[in-house]
Amino acid sequence: MGDINSNKMAFSVRQFCARNGISTPTYYKLRASKRGPREMRFGSVVRISIEAEADWRRAREYPDMEERARIEQQRRKLKQRSSNAVKNTVHVASAAGR
């Protein structure tokens, strides 16, 4: 794969993921939900430019209203699941208090 911090101007999906600390499945989930970086395509070859990477990071740091609402909805859903799991009498967290 080479040095992911080299002076390259564009990166493969794997290199992009390594540079940004995300898994490739997460990358493809982000792309499917229209939250991935812009891509350059050359036949079947996909590259992400250094500018697209910077724009993508900026968008993650300052999400628009729609993305913020989606993040908040996911947070509430996870909190509810966690609360339900602890209330479950057969869950390991409930068993610890017995």
**CATH for 24:** 1.10.1660
Residues 17 and 55 in one domain: yes
What residues of the chain score a pLDDT lower than 50? none
The pLDDT value recorded for residue 90 is 76
Could you tell me what percent of the chain has a pLDDT over 90? Answer: 58
Domain containing residue 19? 1-62
The domain tally of the chain equals 2
Is 69 found in the same domain as 57?
no
Contact of 19 with 5, CB cutoff 8 Å: yes
> What separation, in Å, do the N-terminal and C-terminal C-alpha atoms of the chain show?
51
Residues 26 and 50 in one domain: yes
Cβ 27 vs Cβ 12: under 8 Å:
no
In this structure, the answer to whether residues 45 and 93 fall within a common structural domain is no
What percent of the chain shows pLDDT beyond 70? Answer: 86
Co-location of 38 and 72 in the same domain: no
Task: Name the burial class of residue 37, with classes exposed (0-12), middle (13-18) and buried (19+) by CB atoms within 10 angstroms of its CB.
Answer: buried
Q: Are both 21 and 53 inside the same structural domain?
A: yes
What crossing angle do the helices spanning 13-20 and 24-32 adopt, rounded to 10°? 100
Match 């999400």 to its residue by tokens: 63
